[in-house]
Amino acid sequence: MEDSRIHKRYALALYQLAGELNQLDRVYDDMRLIAQTCLDSKELMRLLASPVIRDTKKGKILAEIFGGKINELSQRFIDQVVMQNREVSLPSIALEFTQLVKDFKGIKTAIVTSAQPLDAETRAKIIAKLKKQTGSEVELVEKTDPEILGGFTLSLEGQLFDASVKNTMHRLRKEFNEKTNKSEI
C-alpha cells in the first residue's frame, strides 16, 4: 500500500521549487498531463509498478512519453522520482501537486455529469455561474452518464445539485406512490 505522506512530501518539494523558480503554472500543466496520461494507461501503470523492469528503462520510457511535452524542471523531477524508486507513486504525486496549486490559487473543482457531452456555450454558462456564486476560479470536470437520461448533476465542495431527468422521475414516482398509498387508507 502506498503511503500518502510520501506523495505529499514529493509534491510539496516540487511545489516549493517551482514557486522559487517562477514556474508554478508551467509545472502545474505538466503535472496534470503526467497524472492524466498515467491514469489513462493501464499498461503504463503496470510498467511503473513492475519490479522486473529496471529503473533506467522506466526513466527512458517516461522521457520518451513526455519528452518535448513538459519543461526541464518537470522532467528532472520525474528522473528524481524514478531514481528514488517511487515511479509507481508518480500519478499520486502529480495529483497532490495540482491540489497544492489549486489550494494556493483558490481554484475550486466542480464535477458535472450529463447524459451527453456539454457544448461550449453550456460549459461557459456553468463556469460563469459557479464563478459568480463562489467568487473563485472554477475548474470544470466533465463526465457523461447516459443513465441520467437528461439534465445534469453538479458536485462542488461536497454539495450535490441534481437536475437530472432520472432524479426528477424518481421524485415523481415516490410522490405518486405516497399519494396512492394515502388514498387507499
Question: Per-residue pLDDT averaged across 69-87, rounded?
Answer: 93
Q: Is the pLDDT reported for residue 94 higher than 70?
A: yes
Mean pLDDT, rounded, of the chain:
88
Q: Give me the CATH topology for the region 106-184.
A: Glutaredoxin (3.40.30)
- The answer to whether residue 168 scores a pLDDT higher than 80 is no
pLDDT confidence bin for 174, thresholds 50/70/90:
confident
As a whole number of angstroms, the distance between CA 27 and CA 77 comes to: 10
User: What pLDDT is attached to residue 180?
Assistant: 76
What CATH number is given for 4-104 in this structure? 1.10.520.20
Q: Which pLDDT tens digit goes with each residue over 36-71?
A: 999 999 999 999 999 999 989 999 999 999 988 999
Provide the residue type at 111 as one letter: I
pTM: 0.74
For residue 37, what are the contacts with CB-CB under 8 A and spacing of at least 6? Answer: 44, 65, 66
Nearest to 99 by CA among 4, 22, 184: 4
Q: Would you list the domain boundaries of the chain? A: 4-104, 106-184
Categorize the per-residue pLDDT at 1 as very low, low, confident or very high, splitting at 50, 70 and 90. Answer: very low
- DSSP codes of every residue in 83-95: HTT-GGGHHHHHH
